[in-house]
Amino acid sequence: MGKKGDQYEVFVEMGRDTNGEMDAKIKKKKKVKKKEMLEGMKKEMEIDDHELTIEELEMKYSTSTTKGMSSTLAAQVLERDGANELKPPKGTPEYVKFARQLAGGLQCLMWVAAVICFIAFGIQFAQEDLTSYDNLYLAITLIAVVVVTGCFGYYQEFKSTNIIASFKNLVPQKATVFRDGQKSQINANQLVVGDLVEIKGGDRVPADVRIITAQGCKVDNSSLTGESEPQSKGPECTHENPLETRNIAFFSTTCLEGIATGIIINTGDRTIIGRIASLASGVGNEKTPIAIEIEHFVDIIAGLAIFFGATFFVVAMVIGYQFLKAMIFFMAIVVAYVPEGLLATVTVCLSLTAKRLAKKNCVVKNLEAVETLGSTSVICSDKTGTLTQNRMTVSHLWFDNHIHSADTTEDQSGQSFDQSSETWRALGRVAGLCNRAVFKPGQEEIPIPKREVIGDASETALLKFTELTIGNVIDYRGRFKKICEVPFNSTNKFQLSIHELEDPLDLRYLLVMKGAPERILERCSTIMIKGQELPLDEQWKEAFQTAYMDLGSLGERVLGFCHIFMNEKEYPRGYNFDTDEMNFPTSGLCFAGLISMIDPPRATVPDAVMKCRTAGIRVIMVTGDHPITAKAIAANVGIISEGSETVEDIATRLRIPVEQVNRGDARACVINGGQLKDMTSDELDDALRAHPEMVFARTSPQQKLIIVESCQRLGSIVAVTGDGVNDSPALKKADIGIAMGIAGSDAAKNAADMILLDDNFASIVTGVEQGRLIFDNLKKSIAYTLTKNIPELTPYLIYITVSVPLPLGCITILFIELATDIFPSVSLAYEKAESDIMHLKPRNPKRDRLVNEALAVYSYFQIGAIQSFAGFTDYFTAMAQEGWLPLLCVGLRSQWENPHNQEVQDSYGQEWTYSQRLYQEYTCYTVFFVSIEICQISDVLIRKTRRLSVFQQGFFRNKVLVTAIVFQLLLGNFLCYCPGMPNIFNFMPIRVQWWFVPVPFGILIFVYDEIRKLGVRRHPGSWWDKELYY
Amino acid sequence: MSGVKEKKSCSQIMDEWKAFMWNPTTHEFMGRTATSWALILLFYIVFYSFLTGLFSLTMWVMLQTLDPYEPTYQDRLSSPGVMIRPQSDSLSIAFTTNNTESWDGYTNALDTFLGSYNDSIQLANNDNCTPDQYFLQDDNGDVRNNPKKSCQFNRTMLENCSGIMDRTYGYAEGKPCVIIKMNRIIGFKPGNDTNPAYVSCTGMNDDSSKVGNIAYYPAGGIFNKMYFPYYGKITQVNYSQPLVAVKFLNLTLNTLINVECKVVATNVATNDDRDKFAGRVYFSLQVSTSQ
């Protein structure tokens, strides 16, 4: 019970931690708030209601323990305290979220560019020097781009926040309350402090309740404290600490059985759970690795854009351009260099994967978590429900001196045991009759293992087991009319019932009994072997012991079964059985056998764990369960692999004391919560380093936090699963928190980054696979997106330095970035993995960056350069064929752009008006645009793979990509040939042959990249590989 | 999600940066050793040499396909632009009749412009062609008919606006001459077989009455067909563009008058909204008299 004591120490400490972190980052104001909260938390712990007598309580809350409150007073209190519900964590206001989307690094640059455009337009307008509205259009387009991408980002964020909202139970919870002496059902959120409420088995405790009366009331505190054993509650104060005393039941815990009445002492956010939930939401949400990657990258891009822009601004000023003109150059370079479509591409790629994951039962709350999952190197998994099926199931039977295995698979597809023995009939009869559990009605259609049962876990297991093996148990019980029964209690540790026999002529009574095996054995004098009752001698007792030990070491819960037929003479029909007096034989019984139960692992889990192992991911089990059970399940699913031994195993095997074992020899290690409490963080780090296979048993959820922190100290990216409220700090602390969709509490779901709808560990592995794939594919998408920035930038550089007519306009660039190239770059997200990504080690987030130097250099200075040459070839071709030979173009700019000169001579002596030249310039834009498009088709094909040849990957396997290329071409054609385009978006209907000028360069890109990949494949580790593999 | 963000001190960043610039232990300059730099530079030299070579080759091939005498396409030159002389950025002609300095800039510009049209020069370089028909000098198959002849456009054809009889082009008496010039386009034949292209000037909007009478030289403001088509500056070196002079005989004085001069011909577009100089030209006149 000392566990609970440090549990809230941890909370307090956590609060301090948060303060420490806040110190560095967040403004003082918040810090103060945090402290207040902490004070509040401490105050909360000073609850003394559990120590008050009932009379004092009635005084304090002006209520009555018989009649409840008066409705009028309740209404007043409700007005004072507010509704009894947890307030959702205070989010950032919507407008701030939206504003944040508009104020990213790139967006700020675009704002600056737009402002420059406006100023330029304003000055031109003021000077009545207006030749075109291009600057105004451009400014509006830029703003539109920022706003539209902002809306898009906001929508994505909004949608993911809504996912969590949808999890909230929409059906209002009801509570039974006494008011004005009347018992009534009201919505739980209407409850107030002082209300007298009744709680019965199956109810959720509606608020923090001081128990007044209780009958066999047991409460599952696991969502609060993580204790898996139900805690019994009663009216007596057993401890001065409110968390430990028996007479307070906490909000959101579940009453499992019994009935209790009590007075509400805290409601809503003032409940213990409310405090914890709001504290957990205060733990700073750190950025995901990919968010850091992308921001880092955007910063670099923005920095480079400003650097380039500023350099050329200075160059332009030095060359002698006007200030305004130089500013426009600056703006144009920024527009050309910034990959406007990149953020949208990344978001779409991630949300596509998120959708794909949702189909596989992983709901991702924040998109970046998809990728984080891919870089996960440690998974700390719960046992119950995640690795296991979360239902007790009969797994072994011992009868006829033999251990038989039962079928534990979820769909009953496994092998069953031989049921022909007479002993089995006896054992089955005891198991079926000595059982109070019943199926809830109306479930005939549902397969037996999935049916809901009223009764505790073991009885449920036995009920389902007998239903499966014997048949209709209820009917069976009907045939053996129950005369009386003694329910299980902790003093005698058995349960018995007495039945009439099936055969109406047989007037004997049958007594059946089950319970703790050693207690049952004590009461037996014979044992049934192959239908024969044999005396229970030492030999049989030893056999029993061996079997009991064997089953126990499998971590299974074992029950013993026995029976006796009572002599009809001594106990004739109508005999008055008295369960208190026990006026019937309870010893000298006949031992039938043992049945052991376990919560079996899910069928898919061993494979999933294996996959993790090959993928270099370490799976650590963290459970509140008993070490032996934990170890057994760990061994079963492969977390402790075959042949791995713990220190204790080695000690037993070598028969030496534990201290003498070389710790390095033990691959596996089971640490229980008690040991963990005494370990320093260094010792824990050492243990995690020394033993690759770890199981933490009997841990509290707070200790989970410690384990996560330790893993992170060792440089791992940690994924953590959790369901309870107290898991939420660990879920927040982890790089990726995974909440359980079925068993998870709202607080856990709130804190998590991802929710497993089926609570299945195997789904996490699917997530990891998808995460790795999207990392690879994002790399490809980004490489594709970056490449075209060079052919967008070089026209300006040439324009400024060599003074040719402008080859590519800003609006055209925006069309490439935001229209034609978006679909192809997104389509790369559908690319299949090049190799078995689950056979690689997780990426090292410090070394394997999303955008590395090789990727940028290869895209910019090689593929981008080829594309630029393609664009200029096409540009000069279009100019020359219309009458402007390349050499004439050089230095032509000032004449060309003079709106007052209507007589500029081309190479053939023809004279051109300004407007004719302008349309020729638009033709150049279009031609350059087409060149980039053609090269980008080649680019998207080469980006399908980074190492394999495209021929190995298959050209047409990615249907989306093929569609994207077709779409890109169609859109390009539409832009070129749709009437009206020249005057709206500066696209001209160009001659068909100019589409083909860049084709040789496209082929060059493809061939060059195939050569690159060939070199990379053939000579791994070579200079070529190092410089050219991205 | 959380993680400890390492805060680096300023000096640490400087040290890292220094180590990046020059790492004395590994002899690395900006993350690469000398050999590494040499290799990567060599790679890029080869790479870009190849690309430049390829670019030059494609450009050379492209230039080979061009005809030196006429452009491959004339997509933007379906209709000629029109300009005036004397010319200024704002295309406005404003002067005071008895203030010589206010207009001698215009007359000097006209003198210079018409210098090449002097009869003596025209006689020396150009032929006397048959008027009222296109002067076709087509090539005979592959045999080039080069150099091509040009027709004489004598300055005297502009009569009162030639600057010979009236050296002030009428500016001194408030009856200014403006010369209309049509852009050269290879192979373009304005007008049709029966009607040549001619210039017509009107006042814009309310100004039509203020423009008064206009005299055109040569007669009718015609661009004679014998000056077309143009064959390009290589073959037709001495080509003299035909001109039309417009003389405003009784302008309303002391007011700003907007004038539009159009080239009237079936194949000259004058209604392009985007190109204000397509087949027409707008300019303003303001002739003042000092009191």
Distance in Å, alpha carbon of A45 to nearest chain B alpha carbon: 27
**CA A409/CA B118 separation, integer angstroms:** 110
Whole-Å CA distances, A742 to A167, A334, A370, A722: 10, 50, 21, 11
Rg (CA), chain B: 31
**CA A404/CA A409 separation, integer angstroms:** 15
**CA A133/CA A155 separation, integer angstroms:** 32
Distance in Å, alpha carbon of A397 to nearest chain B alpha carbon: 45
Q: Is the peptide bond before A791 cis (omega within 30 degrees of 0)?
A: no
Length of chain B: 291
**CA A268/CA A84 separation, integer angstroms:** 4
**Chain B residues within an 8 Å CB radius of A881:** 66, 71-73
Chain Cα centroid distance, residue A865: 42
| B66 → closest Cβ in A753, A880, A911 | A880
Averaged pLDDT, B35-53: 94
Distance in Å, alpha carbon of B291 to nearest chain A alpha carbon: 32
Give residue A118's identity as a one-letter amino acid code.
Answer: F
DSSP secondary structure string for all residues of A67-124: T-B-HHHHHHHHHHH--SSPPPP-PPPHHHHHHHHHSSHHHHHHHHHHHHHHHHHHHH
Evaluate if residue A688 carries a pLDDT over 70. yes
Whole-Å CA distances, A381 to A280, A384, A623: 20, 9, 8
pLDDT at A918: 92
Q: Interhelix angle for A864-881 vs A999-1018, to 10°?
A: 160
Chain Cα centroid distance, residue A104: 26
| Mutation site for B-interface testing, chosen from A916, A935, A988, A1026 by largest number of B Cβ within 10 Å | A916
**Chain B residues within an 8 Å CB radius of A872:** 55
Distance in Å, alpha carbon of B89 to nearest chain A alpha carbon: 5
pLDDT at A906: 94
**CA A789/CA A337 separation, integer angstroms:** 5
| DSSP letter (8 states) at residue A288 | P
Tell me how far apart the terminal alpha carbons of chain B are, to the nearest angstrom.
88
Q: Where are the beta strands (DSSP E) in A735-858?
A: 736-740, 754-756
Q: Which residues pair with B81 in a beta bridge?
A: B278
Structure tokens at A633: 């399940």
pLDDT, tens digit, 9 for 90 and up, residues A598-624: 888 888 889 999 999 999 999 999 988
pLDDT at A91: 61
Judged by DSSP in three states, A638 sits in coil
Evaluate if residue A202 carries a pLDDT over 60. yes
| DSSP letter (8 states) at residue A299 | H
pLDDT at B179: 95
Evaluate if residue A438 carries a pLDDT over 80. yes
Residue A400 phi/psi, 5-degree rounding, is 50, 35
Q: Residue A538 CB: number of other CB atoms within 10 A?
A: 7
Q: Which residues pair with A208 in a beta bridge?
A: A266
Q: For chain A, give the mean pLDDT.
A: 83
**CA A223/CA A285 separation, integer angstroms:** 22
B274 at interface of A, judged by CB pairs closer than 8 A? yes
Question: A676 near A684, Cβ under 8 Å?
Answer: yes
B6 at interface of A, judged by CB pairs closer than 8 A? no
| A908 → closest Cβ in B70, B181, B183 | B70
| A735 → closest Cβ in B1, B80, B239 | B1
- State the virtual CA torsion across A840, A844, A848, A851 in degrees, nearest 10: 120
Put simply, the answer to whether B83 touches A902 (Cβ < 8 Å) is yes
**Chain B residues within an 8 Å CB radius of A287:** 1
pLDDT, tens digit, 9 for 90 and up, residues B201-242: 999 888 888 899 999 999 899 999 999 999 999 999 889 999
Rg (CA), chain A: 37
pLDDT at A32: 46
**Chain A residues within an 8 Å CB radius of B82:** 902
Residue A402 phi/psi, 5-degree rounding, is -150, 140
Evaluate if residue B169 carries a pLDDT over 90. yes
Q: Longest C-alpha distance within chain A, in Å?
A: 134
Q: Which residue of A has its CA nearest to B63?
A: A880
Evaluate if residue A11 carries a pLDDT over 60. no
| A883 → closest Cβ in B3, B5, B71 | B71
Question: B76 near A893, Cβ under 8 Å?
Answer: no
pTM value > 0.90? no
Whole-Å CA distances, A59 to A44, A722, B129: 20, 41, 127
Whole-Å CA distances, B92 to A164, A425, B160, B244: 71, 118, 22, 18
Put simply, the answer to whether B73 touches A882 (Cβ < 8 Å) is yes
| DSSP letter (8 states) at residue A713 | H
**Chain A residues within an 8 Å CB radius of B48:** 865
**CA A528/CA A534 separation, integer angstroms:** 6
Evaluate if residue A890 carries a pLDDT over 90. yes
**CA A290/CA A371 separation, integer angstroms:** 7
Put simply, the answer to whether B234 touches A908 (Cβ < 8 Å) is yes
- Residue A168 pLDDT class (50, 70, 90 cuts): very low
Structure tokens at A501: 């026999």
Is-catalytic flag, A382? yes
pLDDT at A129: 63
pLDDT at A277: 64
Residues 495-554 of A with CB under 8 A from B: none
Judged by DSSP in three states, B174 sits in coil
Q: Which residue of A has its CA nearest to B277?
A: A913
**CA B108/CA B112 separation, integer angstroms:** 6
Question: A374 near A288, Cβ under 8 Å?
Answer: no
Residue A282: name the closest of A28, A30, A24, A25 by CA: A30
Tokens 């909004």 label which residue?
Answer: A158
Evaluate if residue A33 carries a pLDDT over 70. no
**CA A583/CA A484 separation, integer angstroms:** 12
Put simply, the answer to whether A880 touches B183 (Cβ < 8 Å) is no
pLDDT at A172: 53
Whole-Å CA distances, A691 to A152, A619, A654, A685, B276: 47, 12, 19, 10, 84
Q: Are strands A378-381 and A362-364 parallel, antiparallel or unpaired?
A: unpaired
Q: Residue B129 CB: number of other CB atoms within 10 A?
A: 17
Q: Which residue of B has its CA nearest to A372?
A: B1
pLDDT, tens digit, 9 for 90 and up, residues A286-309: 556 666 777 777 778 888 888 888
Q: For residues A249 and A995, which has the higher predicted lDDT (pLDDT)?
A: A995
Q: Which range, A817-821, B20-24, B114-118, is most confident? A: B114-118
Burial of A393 (0-12, 13-18, 19+ CB in 10 A): buried
Residue A233 phi/psi, 5-degree rounding, is -115, 145
**CA A756/CA A362 separation, integer angstroms:** 5
Lowest mean pLDDT: which of A436-445, A462-471, A632-641, A872-881?
A436-445
Question: A976 near A927, Cβ under 8 Å?
Answer: no
pLDDT at A715: 87
Q: Which residues pair with A397 in a beta bridge?
A: A404, A595
Judged by DSSP in three states, A216 sits in strand
pLDDT, tens digit, 9 for 90 and up, residues B60-98: 999 999 999 889 999 999 999 999 999 888 899 999 998
Structure tokens at A61: 């809350």
Distance in Å, alpha carbon of A109 to nearest chain B alpha carbon: 26
Evaluate if residue A18 carries a pLDDT over 50. no
Evaluate if residue A450 carries a pLDDT over 50. yes
**CA A230/CA A233 separation, integer angstroms:** 9
Give A889's Cβ-side CA count (13 Å radius): 26
Q: Are strands A718-722 and B92-96 parallel, antiparallel or unpaired?
A: unpaired
Our separate counts of H helices and E strands in chain A read 40, 28
Distance in Å, alpha carbon of A905 to nearest chain B alpha carbon: 9
Structure tokens at A763: 């789904």
Q: A195, A269, A382, A407: which one is catalytic?
A: A382
pLDDT, tens digit, 9 for 90 and up, residues A702-740: 788 889 989 999 988 899 988 776 677 788 888 888 888
| Mutation site for B-interface testing, chosen from A902, A923, A1001, A1009 by largest number of B Cβ within 10 Å | A902
Lowest mean pLDDT: which of A46-50, A891-895, B160-164?
A46-50
pLDDT at A31: 44
